[in-house]
Amino acid sequence: GDKVTLNFSSNEQVNKSMFVINIGGQSVPLSNITNTTAFNWSAFRVLDGSEPDGSLDISIEYTDMAGNEGDVETSTDDSSEVVFDNTNPTIDRVTIYTNNVRNSSYGKLGDDVELEFSFSEKLNGTIPTVMIDGNAADSVTNTPVGSVNWTAVRMFQVGDTEAQYIEFNISGYYDEMGNPGLTVTNDTTDGSWVKYDETSPIVTVNNGTEVGPLKIDSVNVTVSDINLGSSATMYYGFSVDGVCDVTDDSALVNLFNNTKPFDIEEDHQDYLCVKSLDIPGNVVYHMVGQLNTDNTAPILDIVEGAEGVPVQTETLKFNATDINLDTNMLWYGLNPDDNCTSTDNYADDMFTDETFFNISAGDKYGHLCVKAGDSAGNFVYEYAGLVHTDNTFPIISGITISSNNSVDTEFAKQGDKVTIMFEVDEDVENVVVMIDGNPADMVSNVSNNYTAYRTMQAGDTEGNITFSIDCDDIAGNAATTKTTINSGNNVEYDETLPTVTEVLDVDVGPVKMDTIQIDVNDTNLVSAFLFYGFSADNVCDVSDNITIQFNDNIAFNITGNHKDYLCVAGIDVPGNKVYHLVGQLNTDNVKPTITVPGDMIISSQTNLDATAIDVNTMSYSWTVETAPGASIVTMGTPLAEDTTFDTDTDGSYVVRLTVTDGAGNSNYSEVSIEWDTSMTDTYSLSVSPNNPVQGDDITIGAIVSDTISVRGVRVYIDGVEYANLSDSDLEDGAFGNVSEVVSYVIENISFAVGTHTVSVVGFDGAQYESVT
């Protein structure tokens, strides 16, 4: 029914009767074509509905007055177009839900039900009509405005339809061309649905609380609701006033399963409440009944427990406290450990609460466990101490005796420690140990294993050492005195020194070897304990080094260089030691000892002063062992102890002194000599920075070289020596090379303003030096 107009112009007069114009695929009658002015034309066509939706196609065919055909036109010059819309709008998306916090498919009183829907195209500004559960929606909004998306909202009210799917319909909407849409009823595109429920669940108590008291109260509750569902939440808790409502929510935190028993095990004298919510959140509170449960054991106070030490009679007192205390459930018994549990022995006897009672005399030992119970069947188990009644004498056994003698523990000498070890079958006191008729120096105990010792003194009785042991147990029972060992051997005391006799004495000498024979006598002698050695004086004692072993009454030889005294020492088994002077020795079998000058660097004739030591007279010989080729060496006195050295060629030399004593023993020692007569060369002086100010650090560097070796460097400023450089000031870490790079730092200078002269002097081992 709408009219579409096409305006166009030609560049010359055209023949109207030859026009062929199409709009939307249909031709325009010549009667609808008008020549408006000169070369301007207008054509129109009324749409009849047969045209396809979308942009309408156009075409213009024409000829001029001479019959020449123009180009067919199929588009506008200004990109204008007409879009045809003959399609009714539809609803493409419909979903329904609620704002219920538990399940968006359910709603309760006061919840909002929301309907979201989208059209296939924009509307013409009219607001669709939305009905929810037979009532108009509270609001219908375009979200966002101008889009195809709409939302309708309605709040559930009392009396709305329960227990079935909420019905809705959407109608009264038009697209921008005015085409009407179809009514949509109860049809969501995502399968969503909403049910309304304003009825709270119903609670039925199948098994309520017991009168009690009892340890466990088993309760069974059934909750019914049309929308209970698997997601329904059921809690129980406790109230002090018997009124179960929202004020008890903080206590209703224990979940239970519907129609299944649950147990109350704690101590309760209050009221049991249950709370249940259906799927939408309708809540019910229900008081099941008053509880009377007791699951707490009595409190047991050990007023007077066992003393833990041996006694003849234990006096005890216990106090049990409980609201349901059963006086027939107060028992005690002795057990092997202090971990009192339900499985221990409590059958020894009953006790009366808060009353003293005795465990009679006799030998009893065990850990006392006490049990108290209440009428609900709760029990407490407590440890009341160690019971130990004793009327039996202690027994001493396992007696051994030994000494700390370094040679044989079955002997003892003066100063040795004699130890007696024994064990007692119970704890004891008043332990007295006598050794050789004297009290032990110390008695110690570890777990009833005793150790006693005494240090033997001069005048103690020689022979087997006697002893005695006495003690009492903690209850005062005395042990039988012990005077003999149970295992091992006795210890013999010996304080007499061995005697020494010379069979072959020392020779007057001198000799290269002296033969000696010594006879040592003692009642407890061991030949392995005979030694000889040497003393600088004629007194043989502990200060001398007497460590060479010899055999009793068998000759042995003394070799070596000796002018000292021969000493012998004899030790018996207990360790009694005698020192004996045999005589002065005169033997020589040792090479002379030679001391020559250390390695040296020289540049002129030099004395070589040596020292040779020997007990006899000596002869001397100096020889050249190593020298540069073609050099001539002059030795001043080559057959004397001291000589001089001179040569004509720089380089390295080795000279040797050989010394021979009167007994023919010979030895030698060598001296390494660097002969150096060449000057050093010091150059490449550097000062950085060379224009310092006061407080700066300056670094002075130079290079020193020598044909043999550089031995040192001195630094001067204005003629004043500032440093004699050490090895640490060299790049390679040590003097002695033929070339050295040196560096010296002066920190925090305080020179006067002006010019200063810096000098570096390098010198070699012969003290030849050069300056830069």
- Whether the per-residue pLDDT at 401 is higher than 80: the answer is yes
- Whether the per-residue pLDDT at 231 is higher than 60: the answer is no
Q: Does residue 687 share a domain with residue 664?
A: no
The whole-model pTM stands at 0.42
Q: Higher confidence at residue 516 or residue 326?
A: 516
Q: Does residue 177 share a domain with residue 207?
A: no
Q: Does residue 597 share a domain with residue 671?
A: yes
Q: Does residue 304 share a domain with residue 373?
A: yes
- Whether the per-residue pLDDT at 431 is higher than 70: the answer is yes
189-206 pLDDT tens trace:
999 999 999 988 999 999
Task: Please count the structural domains in the chain.
Answer: 8
- Whether the per-residue pLDDT at 729 is higher than 70: the answer is no
**Which tokens hold the place of 459?**
């005048």
pLDDT of residue 361: 66
- Whether the per-residue pLDDT at 392 is higher than 90: the answer is no
- Whether the per-residue pLDDT at 437 is higher than 90: the answer is yes
633-647 pLDDT tens trace:
999 999 999 999 999
Last residue of a domain, one of 584, 612, 641: 584
Q: Does residue 104 share a domain with residue 129?
A: yes
Listed residue (772, 748, 673, 758) closest to 718, CA to CA = 758
Query: Taking a C-beta distance cutoff of 8 angstroms, is the pair 41, 35 a contact?
Result: yes
Query: Taking a C-beta distance cutoff of 8 angstroms, is the pair 595, 669 a contact?
Result: yes
Residue 442 banded pLDDT, cuts 50, 70, 90: very high
pLDDT of residue 138: 96
In the predicted model, what is the mean pLDDT of residues 704-717? 88
9-28 pLDDT tens trace:
999 999 988 999 999 989 99
Percent over 90 (pLDDT), the chain: 56
- In angstroms, the CA 423 to CA 349 distance is 36
Q: Domain range holding 335?
A: 299-389
Listed residue (152, 142, 146) closest to 188, CA to CA = 152
DSSP characters over 545-560? EEEEE--TT--EEE-S
Burial class (CB in 10 A: 0-12, 13-18, 19+), 663: buried
Q: Does residue 383 share a domain with residue 403?
A: no
Give the domain CATH number at 454: 2.60.40.1930
150-173 pLDDT tens trace:
999 999 999 999 878 999 999 999
Q: Does residue 634 share a domain with residue 670?
A: yes
Query: Taking a C-beta distance cutoff of 8 angstroms, is the pair 113, 137 a contact?
Result: no
Query: Taking a C-beta distance cutoff of 8 angstroms, is the pair 155, 112 a contact?
Result: yes
pLDDT of residue 208: 86
- Whether the per-residue pLDDT at 488 is higher than 60: the answer is yes
DSSP class of 426: S
In the predicted model, what is the mean pLDDT of residues 595-624? 91
pLDDT of residue 507: 83
- Whether the per-residue pLDDT at 100 is higher than 80: the answer is yes
Last residue of a domain, one of 229, 264, 290: 290
Q: Does residue 182 share a domain with residue 96?
A: yes
Q: Does residue 578 share a domain with residue 512?
A: yes
Mean pLDDT of the chain: 90
Place of tokens 């380089």: 651
Of the ranges 16-20, 585-589, 727-731, 760-764, which one carries the lowest mean pLDDT score?
727-731
Residue 663 banded pLDDT, cuts 50, 70, 90: confident
- Whether the per-residue pLDDT at 512 is higher than 80: the answer is no
pLDDT of residue 727: 62
- In angstroms, the CA 518 to CA 530 distance is 10
Listed residue (502, 517, 518, 491) closest to 573, CA to CA = 491
Q: Does residue 548 share a domain with residue 506?
A: yes
DSSP class of 30: G
Give the domain CATH number at 696: 2.60.40.770
Residue 232 banded pLDDT, cuts 50, 70, 90: low
Q: Are strands 492-493 and 411-412 parallel, antiparallel or unpaired?
A: parallel
Three-class SS state of 296: coil
455-465 pLDDT tens trace:
999 999 999 99
In the predicted model, what is the mean pLDDT of residues 734-757? 88
- Whether the per-residue pLDDT at 299 is higher than 70: the answer is yes
Q: Does residue 379 share a domain with residue 332?
A: yes
pLDDT of residue 329: 86
| Residues 698-702: contacts with CB under 8 Å, at least 24 apart | 698/745, 698/746, 698/749, 699/743, 699/744, 699/745, 700/743, 700/744, 700/745, 700/746, 700/758, 700/760, 701/741, 701/742, 701/743, 701/744, 702/741, 702/742, 702/760, 702/762, 702/772
Give the domain CATH number at 370: 2.60.40
Percent over 70 (pLDDT), the chain: 98
Residue 730 banded pLDDT, cuts 50, 70, 90: low
Last residue of a domain, one of 675, 702, 718: 675
pLDDT of residue 737: 83
In the predicted model, what is the mean pLDDT of residues 49-63? 91
Three-class SS state of 247: helix
pLDDT of residue 93: 95
Residue 398 banded pLDDT, cuts 50, 70, 90: very high
Strand order in the sheet with 606-608: 606-608, 643-647, 633-635
